[in-house]
Amino acid sequence: MHLPDLTLPQMLRERALAMPERLAIRQKDFGIWKPFTWGQYHRRASHFGLGLRALGLPEGGHVGVIAENRIEWVLTQMGAGLVGAVTVGVYSTSPASEVAYVVGHGDVEIMVCEDQEQTDKLLETLAQLPRLRKIIVMETKGLRSFSPEVRDLIVTFAEVEKAGAAAGNSALIDAALAHQKLDDIGLMIYTSGSTGKPKGAMISWRNMRGVVPGIVERLGITGATSHLSYLPLCHVAEQMLTTFVPVYIGSQVNFGESIRTVQEDLREVAPTMFLGVPRIWEKMHATLSIKLQETGGLRRKLFDQAYAACLPLAEKPRSAWTLGDKAKYRASYWLIFRALRNFIGLRNVAVALTGAAPIAPDVVRFFRVLGVPLIEVYGLTESTGMVLGHEPRDVLIGTVGQPTLGVEHRLADNGELLLRGDMVFAGYYKNPEATASSIIDGWLHTGDVVREERGQLKIVDRLKDIMITAGGKNLTPSEIENTMKGSPFIKECIIVAEARKFVAALVMIDFETVGKWAEAQRISFTHFRSLVELPQVRALIDAEIGQGNQRLAQVSQIRKFHLLTKELDHDDGEVTATMKVRRSSIYKTYATEIEALYR
């Protein structure tokens, strides 16, 4: 497909001119879904952009956003783009120190915050942010408690939008868009920092435009596609489906009430497309497992029979289904699977994605058996999103499919995946050394080792994560960890094997699922630690690991494990804002427990 040679803000203006009354966004506030047309989207973004200029944001200046997904997030981003500024996203779950690092390193001059909680993080670290000149707050509750000096620093979102509307200077926007080029930087996305300080990836308008055709073609997205936006907008995965694709294609975005109401919002929206990181799918899998545990007896038996009957269809293209296959699935769907799909809100989904991290094949298989067309995709911040993905009619579970439209790829001698195309990012902000080691002769070095399986690409592991045992055997931790995380009782599994005699693991239980199991067994507990320390729970996890080991080569099997007595926490530096495990930090924190496994 061919897209116009227009930047994202230029395309938003075209969209508003071509279909001003067509629905672009819906947002749920206080239980009511409020619609916004493309005309309103463009108009409000223009007003906010002009308001930013009125506050002194220069062309090329940096505006930051820290908030959950909502229309004000994209109005800030598009408003900044319409006046030639750059948006920098910050995770709303980040502690004050991480917020200060990103805002300071990203040279943010104006910060847009969701509420007082996020504003407080900036005020706490204000001395470290000499470039910050204004804080714009979306929700004003609690703002009166600030001192007069601080109050002068703060302005409300509504006031900025109103000031921009009063200025009515559309000539300024027209001038900014007239000389905006595809190679200008429009967005900065900070990497999760699993191996050190986050790096600011500079994403150009060309990168955004370059990734869209492949996503649209591979996923079958049209103007009729609807999407629920809930994953952080400072992550490229959500950006590609909330801003890049909808603006170029004209599809619909829905913002729910909160990240805490996703399940309820899914049931109400019933989107035709759904993106979940592995933890979301694992959580849904665990929730349905609990539901099936609670039903017990006959219903559980019927589910097990239907699941076993339809399991061979998980990877079989529908075009190849026999009459018997269709009859078998239809009966299972109406009797069992339909209710489960309604429960998780995916009754209308035409394509579902998992990406951003490896996922247990058994979890993918589970949802595909239910009739959820889940495919695994692959992308990086540095590739501006999805660049590999299954053809919906050609799914090989455990792989990530083939390159999308416009993506060139090749494998280095060590198996590392290299990528080239318009979607390869412009470089790391203020870090030419990291840029030079990431992009060599136009090829993006992904850091991921891959191999081909039946014409599809399989991610083996991160190049830096591959371990060598004391016996000289190469191990891929993600394969072992994801096999174990296929259990609804295991939330996290961190492998220890480097230079060791055998594979051991640190295991974190899924508190909700294991708690429900304990209640069903009439075993009492009071909190996370007391549950973990029960001998019956250790026996349960031991059995689950035993089942997982049966699917692994002998050298990869877990011989010993330690159950973590607390959940891994972002504030403790154990996981990133996107819940990626910080291995080095965990190995250091649990050094004593790890050594005890090898005594």
Closest CA to 70 of 20, 23, 25: 25
Q: What is the pTM of this model?
A: 0.85
Instruction: For residue 64, count CB atoms less than 10 angstroms from its CB and return exposed for 0-12, middle for 13-18, buried for 19 or more.
Output: buried
Q: How many other CB atoms are found less than 10 A from the CB of residue 448?
A: 18
Which two structure tokens, joined as six digits, stand for 226? 């609807």
Given a contact cutoff of 8 angstroms between Cβ atoms, the answer to whether 599 and 299 are in contact is no
Q: What is residue 532's predicted lDDT score, i.e. its pLDDT?
A: 94
Query: How far apart are the C-alpha atoms of 256 and 266, rounded to whole Å?
Result: 8
Place of tokens 């050094």: 591
Q: What is residue 193's predicted lDDT score, i.e. its pLDDT?
A: 61
Q: What is residue 27's predicted lDDT score, i.e. its pLDDT?
A: 94
Closest CA to 210 of 5, 440, 11: 5
pLDDT over 90 for what percent of the chain? 67
User: In the chain, what are the domains?
Assistant: 8-272 (3.40.50.12780), 275-347+349-463 (3.40.50.12780), 466-597 (3.30.300.30)
> Which sign does the torsion angle of CA 142, 41, 188, 237 carry?
positive
Query: How far apart are the C-alpha atoms of 96 and 249, rounded to whole Å?
Result: 37
The DSSP code sequence of 543-592 is HHHHHHHTTS-GGGSEEEEEE-SS---TTTTSB-TT--B-HHHHHHHTHH
Tell me how far CA of residue 473 lies from CA of 34, 415, 451, 462, in angstroms.
Answer: 57, 17, 18, 17
Ranges of residues in the chain whose predicted pLDDT is under 70: 142-148, 193-196, 577-579
Amino acid present at 22: R
